[in-house]
A and B are shown apart, each in its own frame.
Chain A
Amino acid sequence: MPPLRLLSVDPSDRGSQRCRLGPGLMSTLGLRLGSPLLVSLPGGSCLCTAWPRPDLAEGFIQMDLKCFSPGLTSGLPAHLTLDPVQLSPLPCSKLKRVKVTVIVQSHDFKKHTHSSLLHEFVKDMLRGVYVHREYVVNMEDFNTDIRYVRIVWVGPDPAAAAGVITSKTALEIIEVQTVQHYKSLLLKEVAPPLGGLEEVTASLREMLQLPLFYPSTLTSLGVSCPRGVLLVGPPGVGKTLLVRRVVMEVGASLVVVRGPEVVGSRPGESEETLRAVFENARSAAEEGPCVLFLDELDSLFPRRSGSSSAENRLVAQLLTLMDGMSRSDRFLIIGATNRPDSLDPALRRPGRFDREVIIGAPTLLQRKAILTVLCERMPVCPTVNMAELAQITTGYVGADLSALCREAAMHALRENIKGSGQQLVEMKHFQEGLKAVGPSCLRGSLGRTDLSPVLWEQIGGLEEVKTKLRQSIEWPMRHPEAFVRLGLRRPRGVLLYGPPGCAKTTLVKAAATSSHCAFLSVSGADLYSPYVGDSEKALAQLFQQARACAPCLLFLDEIDTLIGSRSDGGAPNSVQTRLLSVLLNEMDGIGLKTVERRGTERILQAEGVEQSHTDEELECQEVCNKDVMVVAATNRPSSLDSALLRPGRLDHVIYVPPPDLQARLAILKVCTKSMPVDSDVRLEELAASTELYSGADLENLCKEAALLALLEENMEASSIRHTHFLQSISKMSPSLTAQQISAYLLSPQ
């Protein structure tokens, strides 16, 4: 038999439960006029009565969705072809009894309609309809407040699942629900994925479930239920998603308030809308647990100011409404904000927003969990290592990671279009994506620098310094378990000092490159501000951002210009001293602000649950690298405040010496690597004759020699000869002096 094309239903057939077929097909299937017919469709099935098409044409099918399985609630897909085997006649007897759930449009209707009246209406509506157990009957064609009827049970024959309702069928209404509630129950099955927030989810779920489902237990304990929960966290960590997810899991209905919807232009309008929202939640709570979600709370209810602005009245209204919630109002208010400090403090006391749940930027393990969830539905190449990806995405929040995955998938798609054929997302696509998507924690941060990667090998000499730096920066990141085993604490800060031009900055760059962590760099100019207190605030904010995306390397170049010493007789209240105190506090303060909490406090346990080795390692890394590592560089160590140099602050002080003979040779080798150097060039000799040259000097020397070669042999120069080097040496003088170096040798402490 040929397939049938599904056409949309004729308007005059709406509500008739008819299924229009060609008469030929009807005869083949043995159908009479109006015989019940079960049509299976993608997503569910539908019970209809068969009627010939008015034009008697074959090959088409039209269906009025009157009685269907819940999966088809959202309607039929367009452009569908059905095979005739999907149609099967279904013998239907007259039903004696039927139990139903009625789904009505509004709470008002539910409240004001007497049950006997409703019974009468529904019975009238259902007469003559063929119904099937567990199916939904659509009543929208009646155009009343009764929208759907869900058939729960049909009788008397337990074997027959379907039947026709006559005027003699006894109807029993088990429950009356609103459409909103019904739809939320339907949606329960398709909850959005959520990674890495298990602990927060659990605590939030408990908070929702306890008062909503076991109110009697709480009252018997004499405890009043919490009414409000405040979610605090930076943008993009998934606060809104979390609420939706938890609400769905618990099976509660959700009333969402977005800021602009509430605020109206007329005086008093906003308050009125807010009251209506609460009323809405209250009526929704009558038929099941309900959550009132106020997103972007800070924009709606800012700190009240002295003048009588509209916001003040709105805040007052919210306070009144929250205080006016009685014990019988079984709904919970969840507010979400990323700027808790700008909220009105009156909102944050018990009785209003009792609990505050802080969601920080995701930690390493959380990022891994998020990535795993995100990549679940993507064809990801099995070689992509989520742990590795999580490691290089420090400072990325959930939204960033989702953007990253999208970006990676787009790259894979573009490549696929070009014709490589394989539709898999590989690591290189993620790498590409990383270039386009930056961590939102660092967005707009003043220390964000585009770092061109520098490898350790690109720095000649200074082996000892490199080792020390690796010890204090790279090792704790790479081998945290060793540190834990030996009870070592990673240093808080490192101070590099030494004569200018000896690769201090380059060393830090190399360290940042090798350790895969976020890198922030500031110099004096960044922090300078003509306003009092601005510089301090900027520095504090810098630390806050650095902590949000820890592990993080914070590089303070030329720290002596940034921060003075308290002892060297400057004005006691200068910007420098204030910055110094901020720095000391941030590095070694009492603790973090509660708002900056990330993940849950985790302590390493010896008897862990069975975990794979890599997981353990990741956890180790996560626990050990929560702090910000401060690296400072200066060439005037003597002008630093001594408080900055004591253990716990910049506790690792590394002297970067001017290059010795060996180092100079190494530097020259590195510098001339890309130069066509003539075979007569004796680098050892050059190294010996460049005493007191710094690294920068040596680099300059090579450049000068190359220029000289060009000068002498016009543009055709193909190699640089030894004489060029010698000539350059004679022109240049070293930038360091012996006296200077001896001054550094006195330890700064």
Chain B
Amino acid sequence: MSLQGALRRSFLLLQEQQGVWGSILQECDSLAESLGNLGEQMGGLARVRLSDTPLRVFPDLQERLRFQLVQEADLLLQRLRGRMSDLQSVRDSISNQASAVLLLYEDAADTLDLAALSRRSSVVPSAADMLEWLQDAERYYRQQFLQRKILLQTLRLEDLSQVEGFPQRWKTLESPDSEQRITDTLCRLSFFMESQ
């Protein structure tokens, strides 16, 4: 059954891309951490009145340091955006796969009986279940990607509290439950994926 084959391929791809996604995110996490750190430094600089400190002998220090920090932050943002395009390619490959499988189903839908589609065995879940899971995974990655992208694109370096809180907000986007659900799905499908 070609639908079965397509599903198998899709889940294999999903398994592979899940790992890629995770490793990219790890890189992003450290970048986000650095960005937050820079934000803290900027915040500290904005809160301290240098004219009241021993640094008052350097009148242009505040401006220069701020410039340096913003430049560093800009660099980090660029690198983060670069990672985002990697994430996007992961998302796109999963999306394309999912829509291809759904298209395949729709083409063959007239010949497929709903009862047969929703029949499951102890080792192989039903085709309906698998389609559903594939859709869920696709939606998860799309959602994740979009959330992170919006967060990144709407970040303004002038808004110090935003920059300082960036790592936290980046962290809160993580959804271990959904990630776990995909892992679980893949586990349930391991037998199916191995059978050729």
Contacts and interface: CB of A to CB of B under 8 A. Distances in A.
Interface of A: 12, 15-16, 23, 26-27, 32-34, 51-52, 54, 56, 109, 112-113, 117, 121, 124-125, 127-128, 141-146
Contact of B139 (A15, A34, A109): A15
B142 A124 contact: yes
Interface stretch (B45-53, B61-69, B125-133): B125-133
B135 A16 contact: yes
Contacts of B131: 33-34
Contact of B146 (A12, A52, A125): A125
B146 A54 contact: no
7 contacts: A27-B114, A33-B105, A33-B128, A112-B154, A113-B154, A128-B99, A144-B146
B117 to A, nearest CB: 7
A677 to B, nearest CB: 94
Interface in B143-194: 143, 145-147, 149-150, 153-154, 156, 173, 181
B72 interface: no
Contact of A144 (B105, B114, B150): B150
A127 B143 CA distance: 11
B115 A23 contact: yes
Nearest to B88: A124
Given A121-B149, A121-B150, A142-B143, A26 B114 contact: yes
Contacts of B147: 142-144
A121 B142 CA distance: 11
Contact of B136 (A12, A52, A142, A146): A12
B interface SS class: helix
B106 interface: yes
A56 B150 contact: no
Contacts of A54: 129
A54 B129 CA distance: 8
B118 interface: yes
Contacts of B136: 12, 16
A66 B136 CA distance: 15
B109 interface: yes
Contact of B118 (A23, A121, A143): A23
Most chain A beta carbons < 10 A, residue from B102, B128, B146: B146
Contacts of A32: 106, 109, 114
A56 B118 contact: yes
Contacts of B106: 32
Contact of A52 (B109, B114, B149, B150): B114
Contacts of B154: 109, 112-113, 117, 145
A700 B59 CA distance: 103
Given A23-B118, A33-B131, A112 B156 contact: yes
Contacts of A141: 143
B150 A145 contact: yes
Contacts of B117: 33
Contact of B114 (A12, A23, A112, A117): A23
B183 to A, nearest CB: 14
Given A33-B105, A33-B114, A141-B143, 8 more contacts: A12-B181, A34-B102, A52-B128, A113-B154, A124-B142, A124-B145, A142-B143, A144-B146
Nearest to B181: A12
A305 B150 CA distance: 51
Contacts of B102: 34
A75 B162 CA distance: 32
Given A23-B114, A51-B128, A51-B132, A124 B146 contact: yes
A549 B136 CA distance: 68
B146 A121 contact: yes
Nearest to A35: B109
A573 to B, nearest CB: 66
Contacts of A145: 150, 154
Contacts of A12: 136, 181
A12 B181 CA distance: 9
Contacts of A23: 114-115, 118
Nearest to A124: B146
